[in-house]
Structure 1
């Protein structure tokens, strides 16, 4: 999950909301509310190279210092590649991806500018590097291979596209670095074809790494907590966040046959996905105290004289689309971070996705999802209200017992347990349904917060982006009014005056909090309140027909 403060804040809101609902029933007149990863090691950041005896990964010498511009000597010929969803720039020096725009996503609402995922700007570096290191590699800390290119512009026309870069070593060995693209896909194939024309065997290793300025992104706020940093997956851990502070404290060094490394921001992800049938090594380091680097190194490859070897990997540059990422590699879809409730949130998201496919509007899908969830929870809601009503009916008897037994707590407790048994009342019946509902509501919160599908998705009229706050604050005000109406359905309680005032101000407090919430979340909460009001009226009517005085009238 995200920061503890954010988790506690959201949990506070949800728990407060449930307590608010419970209190309205329970405090009516006459009621008195009763990982071990052995393959992981760390090293000091003072070591400037990744702990690999056969060679070091380049990076430090090519990283610009602080806010200084990128040196021209570090830039080769630039190759622009356009598909239907990607517009990327490849630097022929090293064959790194130094820019990536996502053509299906605007930088901001109604903007013509496309969302920029990767970039190489002064003071803001975020690039995807790859190369060949080792005794006979073509990349090192001292310099990168300068590839020759056939063209400087490529445009996809027939559903697939390959962009070749070629480098020839002094010994005659030919290295081709080929980028492969497919229509509608954000995963890019990176393939090395090495023809060893030397007279002896050559040894080299593939590496892929993501490099980002640590101060370039945002981590959200307490009201809308989002993660900005690195993450990885390996044999013993499906998904592990690895923020920049952790990266500065200790370096990653994990041997694994499965997994990937990535950089995350709210709705988007870049990830190196190695082949999954060999012992790869995940690593990290911090360069120049400002550049976070996380990557993967393949095992040493030996290519005999006259032979050709092919080394492949994949780089994903795109939105957190769960279906696409899950199809690409195991556990990459977990970058859509639902925290410890992922097992519950994922089915809820599938329901939301299915309903959207029917109504073609994410706002309507949120409404329908809320209806389905509240309908599924209705038996629990009814049990909660019925239990509270029965507890209220026992209040006169409980008051008499208090007067009878006075300060003898043991006899009082025994008498109350006997009374509960005779009347077939569970004293926890009002709280248990609330606790069972809490994980579902928290999971719904994270689904609506994390889903890239809501980004720049309109609902109706003034709501043009469900992922941002209501520009006119209409939904939060309506939500507050619905809480006030729920309160009014109960008579004024004869409870402690301070407690009474606190809960009277609850609708106002929640309205203020929700002014900055994404409108999709506020819409969900408003609909949930309206359904709760309808359920309250239905349950009350049924109980009153049975002669149970629900509201103390």
Structure 2
């Protein structure tokens, strides 16, 4: 097969895959109500009714006036660490704002990336509380905690920020926020003490709430997911889009698991103790806000009893190492798609190279050299096959002249010619098709790996994770593709096919304009290496007396 046809095939395959992916996002079936979900519910040890549990989960925060304008009796408590700058509302003890101190909004900007926010048009907060018969939170009122100070700053290795409350019926509550240097996860701990002479019952809950507005994903060539996700003891990782939240209600029981909200390179997640029974839920609030969370088992405290309840709140980047340590499957929020099995080892190799080179662009170049070196045997077969195919073109033309429109005889004669000349007509296609999974694996790696966000290369390439601002790399890639085309001239006779082949470098250049600069750098270097390899292979063939042009 002609090399140009192979290039056309791989180009169409990539574009078709991206179109299919967008179609899947729009038309994916909803997970709620499927037999597998029902089976999970039937097999879990929890027998409580989620409707009863959810009746007390506070919704008052969905009222824009109360949340956004802070028309409450609470105060804002600010906490600054080396990784987080957050605001906690003493009304409910909700985290209503979180800035990531180690991530800028734009490259070299002094402004820090804001993940959780209390804005009118972009509400995104992390809530937790105690509901149930004696819980201080309800669907109409939230607990209002006391605090000794409203501004805290991490100075040592850890910091505990306590909020306290004693209810009218004698339940003493301390809600601790425990921060650790270098980490984006916050331990949210309740210390409950029953100071009354009767039993008290509470049910812990957590939820993430976000406005639907502005939650659209990226375009076809830069698709990014913004929405919810969850994990249970039966489902390792499942996306749960805002459309899912609007159209159905999540209701699943699990031992352990987690719930999360994803936003491109960043994630917020509530993680219970992994031996804790939880009931996952979602709620659509007036088609304005979506929530995902979980409730825990009802806790009974006898008079004089004290108990501790802990949940982890992660607010930060999709750092695979940190997320993997926090909970099973949480690292899968770094979603590499169907080629995760290839993206992950390529990413670890890229990180390893970066640890030595100190530049992600150089690491990409080196990984390209390694990939092309590993594929050299296939490349050699590819170009030898294409060289032989061009060498037998006169003989093939003679067969066409001889058999004319008799396709059966023509086909038999061509197969005999291939056998006699030891030519594989598919030999030039397979190595290029093999590159497609590698290309797509790297593509997802650039979209999802926060380590590559704002990664500089040299000269005008200030961020390898976004498109080249001056389109220089895509143009150079198109030139390299044109050079490869000239090395393997078009031999097809059909005028339409000839025009398609001639315009392929231009078409692919237009496509690559929208791809991350790092991915275009990979393809450009790959083409340049292929040019060198092809010249070496053809020179070797000529020395062996094989005509290749």
Same fold (TM > 0.5): yes
2:297 maps to 299
> Do the aligned partners of 2:479 and 2:505 also contact (CA within 8 Å) in 1?
yes
Counterpart check, 1:122 vs 2:124: no
- Over 3 Å counting, the alpha-carbon distance change for 1:481 and 1:446 in structure 2 is same
- How many angstroms apart in 1 are the aligned matches of 2:343 and 2:85? 32
SS of residue paired to 1:246: helix
- Please tell me the root mean square deviation across aligned C-alpha atoms, in Å: 2.7
Q: Take 2:270 and 2:228, find their aligned partners in 1: how far apart are those partners?
A: 12
Matches for 1:9-48 after TM superposition, within 5 Å: 12=12, 14=14, 37-39=36-38
1:258 equivalent among 256, 259, 267: 256
Deviates more, 1:449-458 or 1:393-402: 393-402
- Is it true that 1:532 corresponds to 2:516 in the alignment? no
Q: 2:466 aligns with which of 460, 465, 468?
A: 468
Supply the distance in 2 between the matched residues of 1:206 and 1:219 (Cα, whole angstroms): 33
Contact 1:40 1:253 in 2 (8 A): no
- Taking the aligned partners of 1:15 and 1:63, their CA distance within structure 2 comes to 41
Q: Which digits, 9 at most, give the CA deviation of each residue in 1:158-196, with x for residues without a partner?
A: 110111111111121101111111111001111111101
Task: Write out aligned runs for 1:351-370 (5 A).
Answer: 351-370=349-368
**Which residue of structure 2 aligns with residue 61 of structure 1?**
60
Counterparts of 2:416 and 2:516, CA distance in 1 = 49
SS in 1 for 2:456: coil
8 Å contact from structure 1 (residues 271, 316) kept in 2: yes
Q: Which residue of 2 aligns with 1:542?
A: 540
Which residue is equivalent to 1:102?
Answer: 100
Map 1:467-506 onto structure 2 (within 5 A). 467-506=465-504
Query: Following the alignment from structure 2 to structure 1, what is the Cα–Cα distance between the partners of residues 313 and 338?
Result: 27
Unaligned runs of 5+ in 2: 1-8, 18-33, 42-48
- Structure 1 residues 59 and 478: alpha-carbon distance in aligned structure 2, compared to 1, 3 A threshold: farther
Question: Cα offset for 1:352?
Answer: 0.6
Residues 1:85 and 1:79: Cα distance change in structure 2 (over 3 Å): same
- 2:385 and 2:428 in contact (8 A); partners too: yes
From 327, 330, 343, the equivalent of 1:329 is: 327
SS in 2 for 1:37: helix
Task: Give yes or no for the alignment of 1:457 onto 2:461.
Answer: no
1:82–1:332 distance in 2 versus 1, CA, 3 Å: same
**1:55 touches 1:135 (CA, 8 Å); kept in 2?**
no
Distance between the aligned counterparts of 1:133 and 1:169, measured in 2?
A: 13
Q: Match of 2:5?
A: none
Q: Does structure 1 retain, via aligned residues, the 8 Å contact 2:58–2:142?
A: no
* Residues 441/243 of structure 1: CA separation in 2 closer, same or farther (3 Å cut): same
Can you list the C-alpha shifts for 1:259-309, whole angstroms capped at 9, x where unaligned? 211111111111111111132111111112110101111122222221111
- Say which of 89, 92, 101 aligns to 1:91: 89
- Against the structure 1 CA distance between its residues 489 and 393, is the aligned structure 2 distance closer, same or farther, given a 3 Å change threshold? closer
Shift of the 439–36 alpha-carbon distance from structure 1 to 2, 3 Å rule, reads farther
TM-score under structure 2 length normalisation: 0.88
TM-superposed deviation, 1:520: 1.8
List per-residue Cα deviations over 1:456-481 (Å, max 9, x = no partner).
22111222222223233222222222
How far apart in 1 are the matches of 2:535 and 2:66?
A: 65
CA contact (8 A) 1:58 1:143 kept: no
Question: Which of 174, 177, 184 does residue 175 from structure 2 map onto?
Answer: 177
The correspondence for 2:246, drawn from 237, 242, 248, is 248
| Corresponding residue of 1:168 | 166
CA positional deviation for 1:356: 0.5
TM-score, length-scaled by structure 1: 0.87
Give the Cα–Cα distance (whole angstroms) in 2 for the partners of residues 207 and 278 of structure 1.
12
8 A contact 1:98–1:118 mirrored in 2: yes
Q: How many angstroms apart in 2 are the aligned matches of 1:456 and 1:56? A: 44
Bigger mean CA offset, 377-386 vs 417-426 = 417-426
Quick one: which of 130, 133, 147 aligns to 2:131?
133
On the 8 A contact 2:188/2:310 being kept in 1, the answer is yes
Q: Distance in 2 between matches of 1:15 and 1:129?
A: 41
Within the candidate set 365, 382, 385, 1:384 is matched to 382
Which stretches in structure 1 are left out of the alignment for 5+ residues? 1-8, 18-34, 43-49
Separation in 1, partners of 2:39, 2:14: 38
**Other-structure match for 1:279:** 277
The 5 Å alignment of 1:438-453 reads: 438-453=436-451
Going from structure 1 to structure 2, the CA distance change for 1:417 and 1:479 (only over 3 Å counts) comes to closer
**Structure 1, 84-93 or 441-450: larger mean CA deviation:** 441-450
Verify the 8 A CA contact 1:56 1:134 in the aligned structure 2: no
**Structure 2 CA distance for aligned equivalents of residues 529 and 109 of structure 1:** 30
**In 2, are the aligned partners of 1:267 and 1:452 still within 8 Å (CA)?**
yes
Distance in 1, Cα, partners of 2:409 & 2:56 = 75
CA distance in 2 between counterparts of 1:525 and 1:415 reads 38
The structural deviation recorded for 1:410 is 5.4
